[in-house]
Amino acid sequence: MENLPTKPPESSPPKPFRSRWKRLLILVSGWGFIFLGILGIFLPILQGILFLAIGFYLLSLESPWAHRKMEQMRERYPKLGKTLDEARLRAARYARKIRRRK
């Protein structure tokens, strides 16, 4: 018998084979957005939750741990899924801009 997966993946897992510079850029920008998100929690000008979601999404592209945690948050807090989807779209736009530059 074939070994069939028990459940299909909800989103793509981290890609292990990226160039060193792209990986570094993704990690630095992910942590930068996390930092802005933490500031946004205390400053009313910034949208803290959105920046945290964008940063977590970027980190989940490179870190299996962040990918698992993001999926756990999505399952536990369904309303947060909408914010994560919005963050994923914004992060994809930033990633396209980065790719065009190189």
Q: What is the pTM of this model?
A: 0.59
- Rounded-to-integer distance, Cα 56 and Cα 33, Å: 8
Does residue 4 surpass a pLDDT of 70? no
Report if residue 82 sits inside a domain: yes
Report if residue 10 sits inside a domain: no
In this predicted model, what pLDDT tens digit does every residue of 48-61 receive, in sequence order?
A: 888 887 888 888 88
Report if residue 69 sits inside a domain: yes
- Model confidence at 35, in pLDDT bands (50, 70, 90)? very high
| Structural domains counted in the chain | 1
Report if residue 6 sits inside a domain: no
Report if residue 11 sits inside a domain: no
Report if residue 3 sits inside a domain: no
Range of the domain at 82: 20-101
Does residue 96 surpass a pLDDT of 50? yes
- Rounded-to-integer distance, Cα 31 and Cα 53, Å: 11
Report if residue 14 sits inside a domain: no
Report if residue 42 sits inside a domain: yes
